[in-house]
Structure 1
Amino acid sequence: MESQRLRGPALAALRASGKGRLRYGPEWSAELGEDILEVHRSPAFLSPQAGWILGRIARSPREEEETPEGSARGEAALPEALPLASPGGSPAPRAEAPRDAQRPEKRRDPPSDPEAPAPKGPGIEGILRLYDRIRAAEGEEDLRRRQEIQDLASRAAYGQSWELLKRFDEMRELKSHQEWQDLRQEVERSSKEAQGQQEKLKEEHQRRAKLLSRKLREAEQRRLRQEEAELQRREAGQGRLRRLYAAQEELLQANRGLGFEAGQGGPAYAPYAERGNRICGEVSALVRTASERGFPDPADLASADRALLEMRNLLSGLREEISLAAERRKQEEEAEKAAAAEKAENEKNEKIASGQDPEKAPVPESSGKLRKNGLQLKSDEKTLQWYQQLQDQLDQCVDSFAGLANSKDRQEKKIKMDLQKAVTTPVSQISTRAGSQLKEIFDKIHALLSGKPVRSGGQSVSVALHPEALNFSYYKLAEKFVKQGEEEVASHHQAAFPIAVVASGIWELHPPVGHFLLAHLHRKCPYAAPLRPGLPEGASPEEGRRLLGYQSHDSTPEPQDNFLKRMSGMIRLYAAILTLRWPYGDGQGNHPHGLNQAWRWLAQTLNSEPLADVTATILFDFLEVCGNALVKVYQAQFWKMIILIREEYLPRIEEITSTGQMGSFIRLKQFLEECLRRNEIPLPKGFLPPSFWRS
């Protein structure tokens, strides 16, 4: 509580101090303070009343009272304004009017008129004003001195700060230089250390590189040795695989010969065919296993050789048995002939004895041929036998792959579909675009039928995958060729030649394909035989039309135009096959079904009674396709046949042709007349020239 006790005396002391006794005007304001400071800042000068004030001060009060006029005169005698000396000793500039005179509301200046009467109490106000002026001058002087001191102090401080800044910059520069030197030394030291480390790493790298190079050389040598060993193993495996494929191909060829000869021999030789099929199945399974494994083992090759040897022995045994049976039949026939001759001799002797002339004995009428106007109404007996033989072979082929065709096993179904695609897709791609493309298609089909694997649909396909696959491929390929003639050639006649040349080449290398092709062709187009099948007793008209090649859909008979179009396409394909041979073959041997068959077909057709609209159509198509080739081979004989057709056969066709069917007849007649007039038969449109095979 000591502070509470001393508070009163402290306040009393403060009130008694100099500052405590000061009195502050309530009218004081910031504007007034500024004006006062402005007055003190302005240079000192004497007002117009300065002379009057000085004169009043110099005179005594009595003199002022006694001689007021003198006072006025003294004031007038004074100069109007005397400049005051400035605090620096130089005269102050003359001022125009005091600033206080412009603010009458704040200052009470004496009247500016010198003639005005002086107020009472002369000299006090002037003295006060002079005092104020002097105090203002002193304040200005003091302010100026303080300002000079302040300026000096400011300059000194600025100089000192500048020197300090220079020292600071020098110190900072020195420090930066030292740091840079330290950093440079550190970098040099680090560089030397890094260089030394790099040298060590380089030496280590060289050492490791040498070690790695040695290891790489060793690894490369090992790889080369392994590749050489693998190459030798692969070459040996490929050699075994080629030998296995060759053995399989020979086995399949032998099996085809075995099946054909067994089929010719009759049911008694069926066990030979069954045994041959079993051997082919075993070898096919062996090839399939070897293909999955990569390459066959020597044991697989030995098994294939044993199977091939067994097949050869089986084939030789069948041939020996067939030859023995033929010899027995020959002996039996000779015995029968001898018995018949003896019997005939006995009958002759009896007739001679009875007086009858043997030369006038009645001869039985042949029922095999019926003629009208010298032309056959039915097909030749040999032609019928040939037709039936081809159909039997086709039926036997169908029976041989019945297991594969009717199998429910998923794997066998897949094999069947892959084989069908591999066979039919290349035939669909045959065109006249380029000879190289045609050769590629031929090679693919030939490789497939030879037992080699081919790519089809992104998968590998081979007839070695199933024992019945080869016959299935034969059947489907022949069927596809005939279908192309029925559809593609019927719409585009020029397509007959590329299809025919491929079919001819395949026929030459794989004869069963040709036999099945003829069987399919005769079944769909009997006029290609040429065949005039007789109508069985009790057969319906639909059955008769089917035998003549007509098709029916939902019991609706085929229109005549569609029928003739199909027949035309198949006849053109058949004629092109008779004319063309595969140009890349060995050239040895005859055409498997060449121009001699074309001459046979033409002769048999002309020996048969013509059919309305059909005979004229097929004759025109046949002569247009292979007439040029027949002229080159048979020359004058062929021209005699052409004249025969025009002179004798055309009138017979015209006799049976109605008015609505004259189109084909007129086309044939104009063709023959044009050929005879020009004495040549032109090459057919679309014929493949030699330059085609270089494209």
Structure 2
Amino acid sequence: MSLDVCEQLRKTTKGKLVYHNDKKPLEFSNQLPSHVFDLPDIPGVLEVLEENAYVDEDECLLINKLTALTIDDSSTQLKQPDVDILPEDSTIALLDLREKQLSQNLIQLQVGKYHDATMEAHKEAKRKFKEREERIRRNRMEERKKWNLITESEREEAEKIRHEFKEQHHKRNNLLKTRMLEAERRKVEQNKQRLKHVEGVVTKCAKLNEDVMRQFHNDSSIVSSNPAIVSMATECGRKFSAIVNIFKDSKTSGLMDKVTAASITDDCGVHQEICDNLVSAIEKLREEEIIRKRELEERIEKEQEEMRVKEKKEKERIKASLDEDPENKFPSVPKELQLSVSRSAYAHHQRMIKSYKDFDVKSKEFTSSKDKQLNKVLIGISNVIGSCVASITSRSGSDVKNKLSDLNGLLQGRTVSSGGSTASIKGYPGASNHAVIFMARKFVKQAESQVSSNHSTAFGLALTILGVWAQNADFGSVFLGLMQTKCPFLVPFYVPKTDGQSDEEYSRSRGYRVTNGVVESQDHYLSRMSGLIRTYAAIIQSPLPPGVRNNPHGIAQGWMWITRMLNLEPWPEITATILFDFLEVAGHALMAAYGRQFEKLLYAICHDYFPKIEEVSGSRGGPVLRLKAFLKECIQHKKVSKPDGHLSTEFWGTHHHAGIVGN
């Protein structure tokens, strides 16, 4: 019965529980609301359930009373409580109680279901919350990755901007440096231009000073007695020295400001004014001497005309001799030497060698004496000649004249003092022979040592040799014989090796020095040969001393030597060396003397002879390259430059003393 009642109660009002009181019934739908798992709505549902499950206090008391009733197991009858309750009322109360208990059980069941649903909803909400946290975490990670990418991109962009800024800064610095360098370059260029301009002004001033001083010294015989002119000359020299000192200081430092340039220019103007006044004064004195010098000039003109006629005849004679073949006039040379030397050269060489050997024998006979007085004479001769030869310079013509005066005076029997020694050959038969050969040896030694290391000294030495040669023909023969012995290429003579001749003997015959069986090095040998060749080339073109008319060994000998040289087959290295040395020293004089003929000779050397030199020597040797460059320059410019240290005829008129160096 109770089940039917409960079932009826459950189905009343479509699932709504209806209590006996007038309170609003609870409504439960058959399906859970869609929002039951939403975490914010669950507490509200629980609160509703708790409010609707409220039981009045009276009902609770009634339930407590009914619990005292017992129900019999066999009859299933309820025990009567101790309270005084009517049977009908107890039944109704029991039914009510059962109904309430069922309601409470149903409510508890629903609450349990809702609690389970709530727990599931909570778990689901927790799971969704975790998923949402995971999604947020992933989103953050993705955002962090994106931010890292953005940061890396920004960093790269910043680095790129920083690099561009550095590049721009570097470019600006480079531009600034370039501008600074350009400004410095312009400053240096302006300084160079000012220095060049001032150098031109000083050069003109120096040329003017040189011309004026030359004119002053040339006219010293007429101006030395005029104090005003001497004072102007002194002032001119002092002013020029001050200009040169200021200019040298500026040139050494490399700085030439406007003030210094203007000062030097003004000083040059003042110097020019002084020079003009000096020249005017000298010209005025010269006009007073015109009548006195007229006869002297006419005589000099006459002598010059005679000299020109003589030179013309000499050139005609040389030309006539070139048209003929003079070799047939000389005896033939030995068969083994026919390819090494020409007939005429060999005959001349034999005469020079004979003269040298004859004097050598006479000198040895003279020096072999044990007379103490004679030994003093020998020592005096050696000291005087050694001192004179060792002190030869190209400083001035007066120095060379002094050396010639001593050397020629000694050979002529005068008493000569030099270098603290005094010597005389007068009264000693055979002393002249010793003096001649000793002097020749000193000159040759000077050529081997000094000229080989300083080429420009060949001309001062050559002037002295020529001055002695012009006064003493025997000296010339002995000197030339000794030169050809030391350097057979001066013949020219390529000495061949004979049968049975040792290497040491063959080296000596070619001019090599052999010491204790050791032959000197090739470089040292070529250096000595160069000194001898350059000295010989300087001799044939040197101007004659004043008062000497006949040249004992002039430029014609140079033409003869080079033509003989070109008729011989070249040797490795040595031919290029001696040909270059000879042409560099004597080429200018040969061009002046023979003109077009010498040009043809240079073309012949370039096109015919030089390829032979390259064939035997190779094209990379130093002598070959020097000769090639020299010939190329001569052919291109159609001239041969003057060699360093070249001395002209005017050199004989130059003087030297403590105050002035020049003419």
> Into which bin does the TM-score normalised by the smaller protein fall?
0.3 to 0.5
TM score, norm. by length of structure 2: 0.47
Task: Return the index of the structure with the highest Cα Rg.
Answer: 1
TM score, norm. by length of structure 1: 0.45
Q: Which structure would you say has the larger RCO, counting Cα contacts within 8 Å and 6 or more residues apart?
A: 2
